[in-house]
C-alpha cells in the first residue's frame, strides 16, 4: 500500500541490538504519488517517523513490533484536518 502511494526512502536513524532484539528508529520521506487512505495523489512531500523492534531466532525474524506516526502522515496528505489551535 505504501509502495504504490509514496515514492519513498526509509532511513535508519538509529539501531540498537541486545540479546535477540534489534531496535530501529527510522524516517520515511518522499512524495505522495498514488491514492492512500482514500486520498488521491497530492504530489506533496511527506515525512513520517517510527520505531520497529525485531526479535530474532536461528538468524531469522520471529516477531516484530512497529510503531509509526500515521496521524501525522494522514494530516500531511489532507486525509485528516490539521489540529487547530485555540
Residue linked to cell 505504501: 2
Dihedral sign (CA 29, 33, 39, 42) = positive
Domain CATH number, residue 33: 3.10.450.50
What's the chain's length in residues? 86
- pTM beyond 0.85, yes or no: no
Residue 24 in domain = yes
| For residue 27, pLDDT beyond 80 | yes
Q: Is the pLDDT of residue 23 over 70?
A: yes
* 83 part of a folded domain: no
35-80 pLDDT, tens digit per residue, is 999 999 999 999 999 999 999 999 999 999 999 999 999 999 999 8
- The domain in which residue 66 lies consists of 2-77
Specify the pLDDT at position 85.
62
Amino acid at each position: 500500500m505504501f509502495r504504490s502511494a509514496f515514492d519513498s526512502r526509509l532511513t535508519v536513524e538509529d539501531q540498537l541490538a541486545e540479546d535477540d532484539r534489534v531496535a530501529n528508529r527510522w524516517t520515511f520521506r518522499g512524495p505522495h504519488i498514488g491514492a492512500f487512505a482514500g486520498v488521491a495523489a497530492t504530489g506533496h512531500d511527506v515525512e513520517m517517523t517510527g520505531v520497529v523492534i525485531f526479535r530474532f531466532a536461528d538468524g531469522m525474524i520471529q516477531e516484530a513490533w512497529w510503531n509509526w506516526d500515521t496521524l501525522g502522515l494522514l494530516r500531511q496528505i489532507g486525509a485528516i484536518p490539521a489540529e487547530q489551535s485555540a
